[in-house]
């Protein structure tokens, strides 16, 4: 039995029906593009959440969070946002599953009756908290995948990803995009996924990391600006679109905008506030950059791919202005190192991690040098995570 199944037995005194592992994710390139209907390039990683589950008959959900050393019980007939956030990541997707089944024209009353009897669930993971690796999405996908298997609900992976996103929006109160859940559930070993956030079409690309490692440098910092500035960036992008729409009514998002239109309608010769111009210029460039980056992967041009990562960071720092001194320092520290082919800040910004592609042979030397420089500069320890690209959400023994 797996370790999570053993934990389940300890808590509930019977063996689980099944166990599931669901990974965290990284995003190689394509930052802040999701809410502009652009492209992202995520992958599932070797940090994960595991759940074990078994059926009940009394209409309750009994939950045990091993890492938090906490338990909770709720009635499945009365699912609503809970005062404990960890509980919301579990019950939010259960609510979405029940609602989806019940609202289907051909809904299966047998499935609904079975899931309404409740279940026991045990959860444990090793995704570092606060590193921007989407532990919440991994929890949601693990739980949803588990109940999908347990009750034979026959949801597709995309349906589950969309339900998990809605659960995060409605129960956890985080207005996130689809990327985190999509990557967690769709991941494939040694492949990245180009997701079109407008059509939800996606395509796998091989990531040949034979000589390289994907390494995260965690600043151990999260500036308070992150959430408010995130909302501001969304508004600035929308304001840019509204200005361009006056001349081009068919434009719906920055995905539809050319760089020529940015310069013509938002540029320095117009009355557009400079911030709106800069945000939109970065965004249009980044959407194009992701499409060019996957062509590099197709031909194994890792150096060219890495150069685009540095360009993305420059745009995020100078044009989109969501970086911070610590993130900039870490990217600058590796910019001229021949053993680092690409680096940039990853995630919403104002702290968190940089993502780096580093030659395996020089990994120890590079990380030691950067860690020493970072400690001297900030008086903080640099936390380093070396990642491999692994399978998405799946059953485990």
**Catalytic site positions:** 180
Cβ pair 345, 316 in contact under 8 A: yes
- At a CB cut-off of 8 Å and minimum separation 6, what does 293 contact? 28, 29, 41, 305, 308
Please give the DSSP secondary-structure letter assigned to residue 148. H
Distance CA 41, CA 192 (A): 6
Distance CA 4, CA 86 (A): 17
Q: Is 207 helix (H, G, I), strand (E, B) or coil?
A: coil
Distance CA 135, CA 139 (A): 6
What Cα–Cα distance (Å) separates residue 299 from each residue in 196, 212, 340, 389?
Answer: 21, 16, 19, 19
Beta bridge partners of 53: 18, 121
Distance CA 351, CA 354 (A): 9
- Ramachandran region of residue 340, left (φ > 0), alpha (ψ -120 to 50) or beta? beta
Backbone angles phi and psi of 144, in degrees to 5? -65, -40
Nearest to 139 by CA among 229, 31, 201, 67: 67
Three-state SS string over 13-55 comes to CCCCCEEEEEEEEEECCCCCCHHHCCEECEEEEEEEEEEEEEE
């Amino acid at each position: 039995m797996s370790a999570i199944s053993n934990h389940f037995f300890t808590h509930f005194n019977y063996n689980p029906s099944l166990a599931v592992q669901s990974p965290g994710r990284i995003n190689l390139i394509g930052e802040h593009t999701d809410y502009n209907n652009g492209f992202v390039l995520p992958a599932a990683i070797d940090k994960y959440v595991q759940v074990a589950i078994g059926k009940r008959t009394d209409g309750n959900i009994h939950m045990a969070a091993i890492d938090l050393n906490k338990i909770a019980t709720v009635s499945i007939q009365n699912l609503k946002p809970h005062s404990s956030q960890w509980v919301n990541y579990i019950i939010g997707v259960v609510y979405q599953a029940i609602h989806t089944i019940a609202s289907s024209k051909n809904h299966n009353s047998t499935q609904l009756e079975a899931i309404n009897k409740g279940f026991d669930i045990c959860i444990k993971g090793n995704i570092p908290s606060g590193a921007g690796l989407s532990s919440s999405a991994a929890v949601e996908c693990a739980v949803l995948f588990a109940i999908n298997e347990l009750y034979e609900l026959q949801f597709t992976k995309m349906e589950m990803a969309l339900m998990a996103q809605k659960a995060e929006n409605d129960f956890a109160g985080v207005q996130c995009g689809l990327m985190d859940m999509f990557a967690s559930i769709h991941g494939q070993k040694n492949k990245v996924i180009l997701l079109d956030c407008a059509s939800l079409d996606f395509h796998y690309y091989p990531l040949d990391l034979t000589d390289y490692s994907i390494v995260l440098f965690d600043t151990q910092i999260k500036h308070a600006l992150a959430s408010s500035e995130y909302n501001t960036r969304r508004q600035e992008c929308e304001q840019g679109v509204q200005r361009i729409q006056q001349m081009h009514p068919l434009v719906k998002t920055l995905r539809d905008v050319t760089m020529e239109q940015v310069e013509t309608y938002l540029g320095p010769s117009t009355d557009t506030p400079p911030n709106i111009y800069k945000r939109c210029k970065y965004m249009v460039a980044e959407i194009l950059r992701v499409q060019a980056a996957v062509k590099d992967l197709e031909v194994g041009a890792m150096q060219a791919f890495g150069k685009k990562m540095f360009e993305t960071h420059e745009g995020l720092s100078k044009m989109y202005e969501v970086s911070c001194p610590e993130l900039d320092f870490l990217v600058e520290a590796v910019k001229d190192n021949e053993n680092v082919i690409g680096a940039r800040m990853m995630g919403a910004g104002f702290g968190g991690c940089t993502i780096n592609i580093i030659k395996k042979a020089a990994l120890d030397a590079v990380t030691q040098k950067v860690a020493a420089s970072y400690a001297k500069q900030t008086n903080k320890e640099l936390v380093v995570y070396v990642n491999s690209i692994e399978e998405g959400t799946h059953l485990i023994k």
